[in-house]
Amino acid sequence: MNIAVCIKQTPDTEARIKLTEDRRRVDESDINFILNPYDEFAVEEAVKLKESNGGEVTVISLGPDRVTSAMRTALAMGADKAIHLKTDRHPDDPLVTAKALAEVLRVGNYDLIFLGKQAIDDDHNQMPSLLGSLLDMPAATVVIKLEIDGDRVVAEREVDGGHEVLEFNLPAIIGAQRGLNEPRYPSLKGIMRAKKIQIEERSVALEAEQLQVESYDYPPPKEAGKIVGDSADAVPELLRLLREEAKVL
């Protein structure tokens, strides 16, 4: 089975985000970057399928030189090959990224293309669907269970208020959700193996972006909490504050 996994490098979930002076970019000077957490589920599912059915897993990522560290993580988890689409930065417009990825995926003749359901930095949650449209393939996203029997795929996905089961044929695109599997930790053997794998570099000519970020803003600071007492006598005052100030009752 020929499998591709499109991954993105994102700021660590515990990073303290700072903005540039013009507030149009995130200041990357003091940020630890990681493999996008949802992409970990995508890599794990791809490697599991390779282990049970044979084949090869190729990870593909677009971005500056620093993204290779996320690619090494995916290789250490068990992927076999890596393709780096070199750009100065990640485009703000997800369609531009999707078109660049589609060009590579189209010639790869992949049976399955995995992605995380979304990246945790921009939260666009569009890439699996965009690639499905560009490549004319069935695409299921927010997938929490996957069964493959020959060319037949059964995918269970989360929807508002329940689950939805889709059936379609390969080739196909899967957007992985938390719960699809439990991503493995890269072993020392896997890390050493990943260091020896040559990452293929390809230059990319990106299209003009139609979506542009005008500015980012920090969330408003949280107000300090109130202590209304430390005994049952404080309950009436607590209820009053919940009704009149917090307006949650």
Q: Which residue segments constitute the domains of the chain, with CATH numbers given?
A: 2-203 (3.40.50.620)
- Among residues 88, 89, 111, 97, the alpha carbon closest in space to that of 5 is found at 111
Give the residue-averaged pLDDT of 78-85.
97
pLDDT in tens, 139-173: 999 999 999 999 999 999 998 889 999 999 999 99
User: Is residue 129 very low, low, confident or very high in pLDDT (cuts 50, 70, 90)?
Assistant: very high
Q: How many CB atoms lie within 10 A of CB 82?
A: 25
C-alpha 106/C-alpha 130 separation (Å) is 14
C-alpha 185/C-alpha 40 separation (Å) is 10
pTM for the structure as a whole: 0.85
The DSSP bridge pattern shows strands 162-169 and 152-159 to be antiparallel
Separate counts of helices (H) and strands (E) for the chain: 6, 11
User: Is residue 222 very low, low, confident or very high in pLDDT (cuts 50, 70, 90)?
Assistant: confident
**What is the reported pLDDT for 230?**
83
**What is the reported pLDDT for 71?**
97
Judge whether 8 and 36 are in contact, CB under 8 Å. yes
